[in-house]
Every structure is written in C-alpha cells, then in structure tokens.
Chain A
Amino acid sequence: MARAVTTQRKAINTAFAWGVGLLIFFPILWTILTSFKTEAQAISDPPVFLFFDWTLENYAVVQERSDYMRFLWNSIIIAGGSTILGVIIAVPAAWSMAFVPSPRTKDILLWMLSTKMLPAVGVLYPIYLLFIKLGWLDTQIGLVIVLMLINLPIIVWMLYTYFKEIPGEILEAARMDGATLKSEILYVLTPMAVPGIASTLLLNVILAWNEAFWTLNLTAAKAAPLTAFIASYSSPEGLFYAKLSAASVMAIAPILIMGWFSQKQLVRGLTFGAVK
C-alpha cells in the first residue's frame, strides 16, 4: 500500500474518479438543482444548469399543499418504531447466540436469514387479509410490525456479528466480579457494543425508510409514509418538475445523510457478515 505514486498518475486517477462519481451522482444533483427552480425554468429548453433564479418557493408549496408533514411523520414513526422494536427484540437473541452458542445456533441464524428471502408478493394476500381482520390496514402500528419483522433477521445478524467480536472472557470476568446477568448486559456488553448497535439502528432505519412494497400496498391515506407520498406524484396531475424535485429532496435528504454516515457498516449488514 505504501507505494510512491507519481503526482501525474494520481492526478489522472483523481480526474477520472471524480468524473465517474459526479456522473453517478448527477441524477440526485439535478433533482436538488431543479428543486430550487421555478416550474418554467425546470422545463426550459435548453435546460439551465446553474444560472437561474434560485427560489425556495417549491418547498413551501409542497409542504402546504400535500400535507408533507403527515407523510414525513408517518415515515419517522414507521422507520424509527420498527427499528427500535426490532433492536429491543434482537439484542437478547443476539447475545444468546454470540455468547451461549449451542450446536443449533448456526441453523437458527440461517433459518432467520431464510425468512428474509421470502418474496413479499408470495404472501401479499394473506398479510392483506390478516391486516383487515386485525384492523391494521392503513395504520402505523401495522406497518411498524411488518417492517420490524422483515428487518429482524438483518438486525439479529448485524448485532450477532458485532457481539461476536467482543471476547467472551470479558463477560466471564464480569460474572466472576459478581455481576448479575442484568448488570453484565447493562454495564459491560452494551457500552462495548454501542458502535455496533448504533450502526445497526442506522442501517435499519434506512432500509425501513425506503421500503416500497408493503408501505405502498398496506396504506391508503392515513398511515402512508413518504414512499407513498412520492408515488402519488406519478399521476399526471402531479407533474410539476420543480415541486416533484422539492418533494423528492425532502424525502431522501435525511436518509442520504444517515447513509453516508453508515456506509462502512453497510457492507457487513447487507452481506450478513460474509464480507467485512
């Protein structure tokens, strides 16, 4: 790694990589730029890139007109709620599997993973039916539970791989030092696992926030999150580029920021620890 590279070579790399990076990022950049244009500028021919009259009007209009706040609130509740609930259920399970492994631990982990691979469409109607029976259709609680269940395997897996890195001897030392199971988890395990738990929370908020099968199919108006809010723009009467852009930026900005923070942990979480 510590090889000297000529400045010229490095400059070429840099130029090339930045070019490719900007190209990939361009759709997002273009959306951000368009969100600050007027509707007329947004569809002007030829398109304007930077030299237009910057305005915040679209953001104001989107918020007023479409109850943006309600969708945002639903997204926050659903993504946050399902993640927190999932972590509360997963921490004890991951502790057990990491520190008290039994011959069946591996099978249980793999089985949990296999539930994640169940294609959603295969169980669409049963879930739909159960939701009607339970009165959960178009409710926050219903989506919190479904998204918690589809992400639970990932949460357990991520926590498991993080816990696995904590040497068991430290927990045994705590036991020798007179700690009960509760104080062992509270004072020793949790503080040591904080970075792992944090990145697990982050990644799963992202996944839940962007989930677009159940949120589209199990909500109508009341509990619809931002995914559904954006989908509603696909109908012809919603076609205003600048406003669509503003709405899009508002829907993706918080998650984009969280995603950048969690990119290092992303790999581990999404490959179930198979690539680190």
Chain B
Amino acid sequence: MATQHSRSAARLMMAPAVFLLLVWMLVPLSMTLWFSFRKYLPLRGGDLGWAGFDNYVRFVTSSAFWPSVMTTLIIVGGVLIITVVFGVLLAMLLDQPMWGQGVVRILVIAPFFVMPTVSALVWKNMFMDPTNGLFAHLWKFFGAEPVSWLSQASLESIIMIVSWQWLPFATLILLTAIQSLDSSQLEAAEIDGAKPVSRFYHIILPHLGRAITIVVLIQTIFLLSIFAEIFVTTGGAFGTKTLTYLIFQRVLESQNIGLGSAGGVYAIILANIVALFLMRIVGKNLDT
C-alpha cells in the first residue's frame, strides 16, 4: 500500500511514541521485578541483599493478604453488577422517545467527570456523615437511627460511591450500542409476535453482549486500581483495604519495598489476565 519512502518515514514518525512507551514499560517493570527479590527496607538499612521468593511467600501468607483479595473482589464485583444492570436499564430508558433527552443525558453522564477525590469527599461528608450527612437527616425523618456509613457499612458505601462514578460510563457505552441496533430487527420480531420481554432477551441483550463484555473488562482494569476513593474516605480502615491499597501501604507507609514489589508483581499478573481478554476483543475489532 505504500512506497519505500513513506514506509521509512512512517517508521521514523512512530519511533518517539514506541520508544517512550517501551521505556515507560520496561524500566519500572524490571525495577519492580528486581526489588521483589531483594530484602529492601530504605528506612531500616536499605538494600539488605537477595531474598529469593521470600517476599512473594510473605506477601501471600501475611494476614492482610486474603482479606485484601476478598475486599478487592467484592468491590470490583459489586460495582460491576450494579453498573451493568442499572446501565442496561438506564440505557434502554434513555433510548425511549422523550422530551429533553439531551439534558437527561447530560445529567446522567455528569458524575463521570467529577474527580475521584471530590466525589469521595462529597459522599463521605455531605451524604454519609452520621450527624450532618443528608442520609442521616433522611433516616431521622423516617424515625430510624442514623447509620455511620463508612465504618458500619464501609464496603457497601465504597461500592456505592464507585458505582455512582462508573454508572455513567456503562450507561453511555450501552446506550451507544443500543442505538446501533437496527430497528428493523425489533420490528421484524414484533411482527413475528415476540412480546417485549422476549424481544429484550432474544434481540436486545444478545446485541449488547459485546458492549457489556467491553464495559466489564475496561471497568475491571480501572476498578482493580481504585485508590483515591479509599484514600480519602477510610484510609484502608474498616475492612476496605484492597490489594492496591495494601501494596501502597507496604511501599510508601511501611517502606518495605521488597514486599510491596512482590505484591506489585501479583497485581500486574492479575491485571494482565483481565487485559488479555480485553485485548482479544479489541484486536478482533481491528480486523474489520
């Protein structure tokens, strides 16, 4: 499709981006890998030599590990279920004919643009605060005892905050997918006598399958590394320590670099498993 001249120009023009990303990937990654095999405590003597797989073993056998994995899974799973289910419903609602569709769309999409620290802080103080939060007022209004959300129902609260941030993303993508559905398919099904419920299960849902998969994979990658929401609200207390947060604490708070790096390698492997599935879908799409 091109001449020798343009091919060499192309290689030259691609070089900066490829080089930068290569450095960005390889240098820190190999450092993490290196540290993960060292006993490395900057505040207590620095690099204390080869550690073999000690860090890897200690990271998994520490009492904080399994709870952090569970926490991570509960948060990721909870947010995924909420955003996908409500995302499908919302997308279908927004696809209906109505007045002021554009404005509603804007209202729904807005939370996605709120920076994570802001949304965490607003939810924490103005809604979930047990004395002055709006929820407390609401509970009192109905005669119930206000809940101390972030300590008594910490995981649920965080799932709620994060879901609020990601619901717009899911909705927007699913809405785009619904709008690409050929309406004659639905009309044909209607003529064939399919009821609304079976139209949803047999036509809309299969059509959304790919979009849902993409939403799940992309969100998983971002959700595995949520940080600010926990940093601002609970600081990892009350059972909200995710794998990401645990590694963060090992590295920056207790300055155990070897241990933290081993944890980092686990996190990278975990993310790569998810990424592999995502890349296969994206890659398939490239061919068409």
Contacts and interface: CB of A to CB of B under 8 A. Distances in A.
A and B directly contacting (CB within 8 A): yes
Interface of A: 1, 5, 9-10, 13-14, 16-18, 20-22, 24-25, 27-28, 30-31, 34, 43, 45-47, 89-90, 92-93, 95-97, 99-102, 106, 108-115, 117-130, 149, 152-153, 156, 168, 181, 206, 209-210, 212-213, 216-217, 226-228, 230-231, 233-234, 239, 241, 244-245, 248, 251-252, 255-256, 258-260, 263, 266-267, 270-276
A119 B268 contact: yes
B275 A126 contact: no
Contacts of A123: 28-29, 31-32, 264
A152 B122 contact: no
Given A43-B132, A263-B106, A274-B282, A100 B21 contact: no
B144 interface: no
B10 to A, nearest CB: 4
12 contacts: A28-B111, A46-B141, A100-B9, A112-B21, A113-B282, A117-B278, A119-B270, A125-B257, A126-B28, A128-B251, A181-B9, A275-B214
B43 interface: no
Interface stretch (B59-67, B73-81, B95-103, B191-199): B95-103
Q: What are the 9 A-B residue pairs with the smallest beta carbon separation, nearest first?
A: A92-B13, A259-B113, A122-B264, A96-B10, A123-B28, A126-B31, A212-B228, A21-B107, A100-B10
Q: Determine which residue in B9, B13, B173, B251 has the highest number of CB atoms from chain A within 10 A of its CB, and name it.
A: B13
A252 B118 CA distance: 8
A255 B29 CA distance: 32
B130 interface: no
Contacts of B244: 119, 121
Contacts of A17: 93-94, 96, 98, 101, 104
Contact of B164 (A27, A108, A153, A251): A27
Given A18-B100, A92-B14, A275-B173, A227 B115 contact: yes
Q: Determine which residue in A93, A111, A127, A273 has the highest number of CB atoms from chain B within 10 A of its CB, and name it.
A: A93
A18 B96 CA distance: 12
Contact of B109 (A106, A168, A259): A259
B1 A256 contact: no
Contacts of B16: 89, 92-93
Nearest to B279: A110
Interface residues of B, number: 107
A124 B31 CA distance: 10
Contact of B113 (A21, A212, A217, A255): A255
Contacts of A125: 31-32, 35, 251-252, 257, 260-261, 264
Contacts of A129: 31
A32 B98 CA distance: 27
Nearest to B7: A100
Given A21-B107, A213-B225, A251-B118, A47 B285 contact: no
Contacts of A122: 29, 32, 247, 264-265, 267-268, 271
Contacts, number: 310
Given A113-B279, A230-B121, A239-B125, 14 more contacts: A24-B108, A24-B167, A100-B1, A106-B286, A110-B283, A119-B264, A120-B225, A125-B35, A152-B20, A216-B227, A234-B120, A259-B113, A271-B173, A274-B214
B97 A10 contact: yes
B151 to A, nearest CB: 15
Interface of B: 1-2, 6-7, 9-11, 13-14, 16-18, 20-21, 24-25, 27-29, 31-32, 35, 90, 93-94, 96-101, 103-127, 132, 134, 137, 141, 164, 167-169, 172-173, 176-177, 180, 183, 210-211, 214, 218, 221, 224-225, 227-228, 231-233, 244, 247-248, 251-252, 257, 260-261, 264-265, 267-268, 270-272, 274-275, 278-279, 281-283, 285-287
A124 B248 contact: yes
Contact of A230 (B21, B117, B141, B283): B117
Contact of B126 (A25, A30, A126): A30
A249 B285 CA distance: 39
Contact of A256 (B105, B114, B279, B285): B114
A270 B115 contact: no
B140 to A, nearest CB: 8
Nearest to A227: B117
B13 A16 contact: no
Given A123-B28, A271-B218, A245 B126 contact: yes
Contacts of B267: 119, 121-122
Contacts of B228: 212-213, 216, 227, 231
